[in-house]
């Protein structure tokens, strides 16, 4: 039987913070047979793939007020020691064209920056580039981009508070063929 360690990131999210480090610290501290019970202000869909790559299955349940409880349970065959390829930037050959669209998502609360960015990529065609400004590193967005076959390049601007990401639509699919 799995025992669960509770992690409540709702206060962090309400304060505008990024709880990914807090979550991963708790996951890395889990003992064999332990799982994670996560409480969040939104359904943390991108985290499902991140922790899935570490050998955890998930069961999500919506609570009152639109908040969520998610149980991450250890799978039988865990790949916890293998890095997830989904969080690395996808390869892209050659020079990238200038962005055809630019988003400024710095004033939005999670998960809106990710939702808005993914919606913009859906309206674009292969080879086009999207530029987005964010107030934090998009740790949940990166696996989603990889899963959808997009390449990305990003990092913090010199001001240290703005994260700029360039997303090339379909570039990872092109590189694989």
101-104: strand order across its sheet: 101-104, 129-134, 163-168, 151-156
Looking from the CA of 45 toward its CB, the CA atoms found within 13 Å total 9
| pLDDT for position 122 | 93
What's the whole-model pTM score?
A: 0.51
Topology at the third CATH level for domain 3-82: Translation Initiation Factor IF3 (3.30.110)
With respect to CATH, is domain 87-176 assigned 3.30.110.40?
Answer: yes
- Please, are residues 167 and 132 in contact by the beta-carbon 8 Å criterion? yes
Closest to 146 in 3D by CA, of 78, 51, 49, 72: 49
pLDDT truncated to tens, each residue of the chain (177 aa)? 889 999 999 998 888 888 888 898 898 899 988 999 999 998 888 788 778 778 889 999 999 888 999 999 987 533 333 334 444 454 445 688 999 999 999 999 888 999 999 999 999 999 999 999 999 888 889 888 988 899 989 888 888 788 899 999 987 655 544
Give the list of residues 6+ apart from residue 35 with CB closer than 8 angstroms, or none.
2, 3, 4, 5, 56, 71, 72, 73, 74
Whole-angstrom Cα distance, residue 135 to residue 123?
Answer: 23
Q: Cα(149)–Cα(46) distance, rounded to whole angstroms?
A: 15
Q: What proportions of the chain, in percent to the nearest 5, are helix, strand and coil?
A: 30, 30, 45
For the chain, residues classed under CATH 3.30.110.40 are 3-82, 87-176
């Amino acid at each position: 039987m799995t025992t669960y360690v509770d992690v409540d990131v709702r206060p962090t999210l309400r304060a505008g913070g990024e709880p990914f480090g807090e979550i991963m610290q708790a996951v890395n501290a889990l003992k064999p047979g332990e799982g994670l019970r996560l409480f969040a202000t939104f359904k943390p869909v991108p985290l499902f793939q991140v922790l899935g790559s570490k050998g955890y299955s998930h069961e999500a349940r919506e609570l009152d007020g639109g908040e969520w409880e998610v149980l991450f349970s250890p799978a039988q065959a865990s790949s916890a020691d293998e890095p997830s390829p989904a969080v690395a930037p996808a390869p892209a050959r050659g020079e990238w064209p200038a962005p055809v669209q630019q988003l400024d998502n710095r004033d939005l609360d999670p998960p809106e920056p990710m939702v808005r960015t993914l919606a913009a990529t859906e309206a674009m065609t292969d080879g086009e580039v999207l530029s987005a400004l964010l107030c934090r590193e998009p740790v949940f967005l990166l696996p989603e981009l990889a899963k959808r076959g997009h390449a990305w390049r990003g990092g913090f601007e010199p001001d240290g508070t703005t994260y700029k990401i360039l997303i090339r639509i379909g570039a990872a699919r092109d590189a694989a063929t």
